[in-house]
Amino acid sequence: MADTSSNDAFVEFERVQKSYDGEILVVKDLNLQIPKGEFLTMLGPSGSGKTTCLMMLAGFETATHGEIKLDGRPINNIPPHKRGIGMVFQNYALFPHMTINENLSFPLEVRKIGKSDREAKVKRALDMVEMGDFGGRRPAQLSGGQQQRIALARALVFEPELVLMDEPLGALDKQLREKMQFEITDLAHRLGITVVYVTHDQTEALTMSDRVAVFDDGRIQQIAPPDELYESPQNSFVAQFIGENNTLEGTVKELSEGLALVQLDDGEMVDCMPVNVSKVGERTKVSIRPERVEFQKERLKEGAHMLKATVKEFIYMGDVFRTRLSVAGNDDFIIKSRNAPDQVRLKPGQQIEIGWLHEDCRALDA
């Protein structure tokens, strides 16, 4: 297909809104550009609008406002089966009256692919999901996880340019799930397939994706590559939603380029990066990752502010130590340290001082 768009987006949502009942917007203002070959994951709480977005892209729902484009062309008037999109939806069942082989062959027949070619492609797709011996069965004769794998094979068998997947690995055990995660990303990258993927599992999102879009309340809160999302969350919601995070509440006391001094509600002062605070006097949630907290002064910069903390619980996890502290009124403040030979094991009741490099601590919206 020729690219007729002004930018290089393969999939594009422009100011898309969606309401099912004509009143409540479940997708509020979606702007999203996905370049060809990108693996993009939508991650967010239940009801935040992820499936609705996939359904609009697939053509099973229409946008209330705005436009969706595929390869530069509006798709509003193209019916689902003409969009050339591979899909794995939770409720998009296999054809029950067909065998597994027939289920997989069907999208190829529709595309007028010859018999011997079809057989080779079906076999390859079944082998990929480790279901090579099941071609003759019907869907009802398979377990839930096996059906899910067949659905995955069927979505990929015709090597579509775009694949939509809504929790495709939900029914699989951890080992098979991790194997399939690798198979899917490997295949997508090898064939240059663009993937829009939905999952509840943030580890899955971080490990598989080129970019992750974090949804909340019908909006994208942040869209970024996994490392940027984890290390530079742009607001409190994203900081809390992705990975483990400690939050302390306070008020901005001083603000300069690259440094905010925040007074916590118990009176203590901390140094942070101003991320979305704009003036002195503003309320803020200070956000710091457990692995970036130090309790050995020599590892901090001279003059850095320290906070008093009481050890509540020490949890030995093998590779890391996870210690729960009480800090500035927060009894669930977690720190993580690597299990090294010289690492200190803190004991409940112990009084310590903690601190951090100010660039690891982010002053976010309250």
Ligand X SMILES: Nc1ncnc2c1ncn2[C@@H]1O[C@H](COP(=O)(O)OP(=O)(O)OP(=O)(O)O)[C@@H](O)[C@H]1O
Tell me which residues touch ligand X (CB under 6 A). Answer: 20, 26, 44, 46-52
The reply on whether position 41 binds Mg ion by CB under 5 A is no
Nearer to ligand X, 61 or 353 (CB): 61
Please give the residue whose beta carbon sits closest to Mg ion in the complex. Answer: 51
Phi/psi at 3 (5° precision): -90, 110
Nearer to ligand X, 7 or 91 (CB): 91
Nearer to ligand X, 44 or 355 (CB): 44
Nearer to ligand X, 164 or 262 (CB): 164
**CB of 92: closest distance to Mg ion in angstroms?**
12
Under rule CB under 5 A, how many of the chain's residues touch Mg ion? 1
**CB of 176: closest distance to ligand X in angstroms?**
22
Minimal CA–CA distance to 40: which of 168, 159, 208, 177?
Answer: 208
Nearer to ligand X, 52 or 246 (CB): 52
**CB of 240: closest distance to Mg ion in angstroms?**
20
What's the rounded Cα separation, in Å, for the pair 38 and 16? 20
Contact 301, 357 (CB under 8 A): yes
Query: Which residue stretches of 84-173 are H helix?
Result: 100-110, 115-128, 144-156
Please name the amino acid found at residue 289: R
Stretch of 47-55, 155-163, 273-281, 288-296 lying at the interface with Mg ion (CB under 5 A): 47-55
Contact letters for Mg ion, residues 100-119 (x by CB under 5 A):
--------------------
**CB of 239: closest distance to ligand X in angstroms?**
20
Strands 194-199 and 211-216 turn out to be unpaired
The reply on whether position 51 binds Mg ion by CB under 5 A is yes
Distances (CA, A) of 345 to 41, 129, 317, 325, 349: 38, 45, 12, 13, 13
The reply on whether position 199 binds Mg ion by CB under 5 A is no
What's the rounded Cα separation, in Å, for the pair 192 and 108? 19
Contact letters for Mg ion, residues 271-300 (x by CB under 5 A):
------------------------------
**CB of 321: closest distance to ligand X in angstroms?**
33
Nearer to Mg ion, 25 or 304 (CB): 25
Residues 144-173 that bind Mg ion (CB under 5 A): none
E strands along the chain, which residues?
9-19, 25-35, 39-43, 65-70, 73-74, 85-88, 162-166, 194-199, 211-216, 219-224, 246-256, 259-264, 269-274, 283-288, 307-316, 320-327, 330-338, 351-354, 361-365
**Partner interacting with residue 49 (select from ligand X, Mg ion, none; CB below 5-8 Å by kind):** ligand X
Name the residue with tokens 């309790």: 295
Residue 156 in 3-state DSSP?
helix
- Contacting residues toward Mg ion, per CB under 5 A: 51
